[in-house]
Amino acid sequence: MTTLYDLPGHLIRRLNQISTAIFATRMDEAGVDLTPVQFAALAALAEHPGVDQATLAGLIAHDRVTMGGVVDRLEGKGLLSRSVSAQDRRARVLELTAAGQRMLEQLAPAIAEVQQRTLAGLTPAEAEAFLALLRKATEAGNEYSRAPLRTGARGED
């Protein structure tokens, strides 16, 4: 029988705990009030400026309801702005502010360090292989997620 400590779900949860703790510690050290989800939202907006909130949720595989609070907090911090969509007056498009862009640029070394520390027990070749396998497993299970990754137009695949 496989023990708890050999189950993929348990190990994935533990690695997420570790990664989140490293992220929080590194943000504290940088004097930045930012969560991993907030960072993901900013990073996605840098790559996909002008998307709406629902699309942003799909781009980072987060539920739409919670995304509202994330966007509210980021707007309150002055890191993103909302404006009325030119195509659909009911929709609001999201853009990084200059402060949001500066924050991403400022945090790039810290984010790289978080990734390196998360996989510190692996050689560079092992880390590359691990990420490839993790990406493959995640993509294969995307449809089972309560908040699947949606990278297509308007967050749909």
CB 51 within 8 A of CB 93: yes
Q: In this structure, how many other beta carbons lie within 10 angstroms of the beta carbon of residue 79?
A: 22
Distance of CA 71 to the CA centre of its chain: 13
Mean pLDDT of 124-145: 96
What does the alpha-carbon distance between residue 80 and residue 77 come to, in Å, rounded to a whole number? 8
pLDDT at residue 1, rounded to an integer: 63
High-pLDDT (> 70) share of the chain, %: 96
Q: Tell me the per-residue pLDDT of 101-124, one tens digit each, with 9 for 90 and over.
A: 999 999 999 999 999 999 999 999
Mean pLDDT of 53-69: 93
pLDDT at residue 86, rounded to an integer: 83
pLDDT at residue 115, rounded to an integer: 96
Q: What is the pTM of this model?
A: 0.90
